[in-house]
Amino acid sequence: MNYFEGLEGTVSSESDSQRTLTPYVTGTSVIGIKYKDGILMTADMGGSYGSTLRYKGVERMKPVGKHSIIGASGEISDFQEIMRYLDELIIHDNMWDDGNSLGPKEIHNYLTRVMYNRRNKFDPLWNTLVLGGIKNGQKYLGMVSSIGVHFEDDHIATGFGNHLARPILRDEWKEDMSFEDAVKLLEKCMLVLLYRDRSAINKLQITKITEEGATVYQPYALKTHWGFTAFKNPANGGAEGSW
């Protein structure tokens, strides 16, 4: 018997009449990196209603089972649905009571199948997911998009972060980074996104997973500086027609 057989089907029936046909309340970039002791992940806490930054306390990162954490860009309600899938998956796994538990690689594979399955039904879950974890000393970090595209890497960023934060990570990330240095790198990336992504806010949250388990830290605000010359008078920098 396929271990995952029937699980995804139990939480989404063909008789459902309500669909998320287009994203409404969305979150922006999620960044995940490997560091010396495990995985670190960060995201801001903004929730945009269309182009309006309506909510400023949305948590988009959650622990999954004993060994993993997940972060999501995109539609918030679809992320809640995905967490419902994962809750049922973990409960089903615990019911076996065989001393084993799902690791990050297994959960990442499961999410890949779920996202691709929903895409094939023309009813996608409008999220890009980052899944990180550590089990038996092996660190794992992967992503999966709303159409099932997936890969693993040492550092991952979604949304605008894939364009603006990844170059910084390629230059400055090191595999043996301490927790403190890894947090500083994530804050640098988030600050760059804050200045350039209209949907980003300076209130962020950091989550880590080590062999000891997951820790979700309290949100805090980044210090910002808006006195740059390019901000004061964009027209001097060649931005014709700007205010």
HSE, side-chain direction, 13 A CA sphere, residue 242: 11
β-bridge mates for residue 75, sequence order: 26
Distance from C-alpha of 136 to C-alpha of 210, rounded to nearest angstrom: 10
**If residue 77 lies in a helix (H) or strand (E), which one and from where to where?**
helix 76-96
Q: Smallest Cα–Cα separation from 191: which of 152, 164, 151, 211?
A: 164
Q: Are 76 and 46 in contact (CB under 8 A)?
A: no
Neighbours of 57 (CB within 10 A): 10
Under DSSP, the state recorded for 228 is: -
| Helix, strand, coil in percent for the chain, rounding step 5 | 35, 30, 40
Instruction: List, in sequence order, the alpha helices (H) in the chain.
Output: 7-10, 76-96, 104-120, 161-164, 166-172, 179-196, 229-232
Q: How far is CA 127 from the centre of its chain?
A: 9
* 42 a catalytic residue: no
Dihedral (CA of 152, 139, 222, 144) sign: positive
**Residue in this structure with the two tokens 């980052």, named with its chain if needed:** 130
Which are the catalytic amino acids? 20
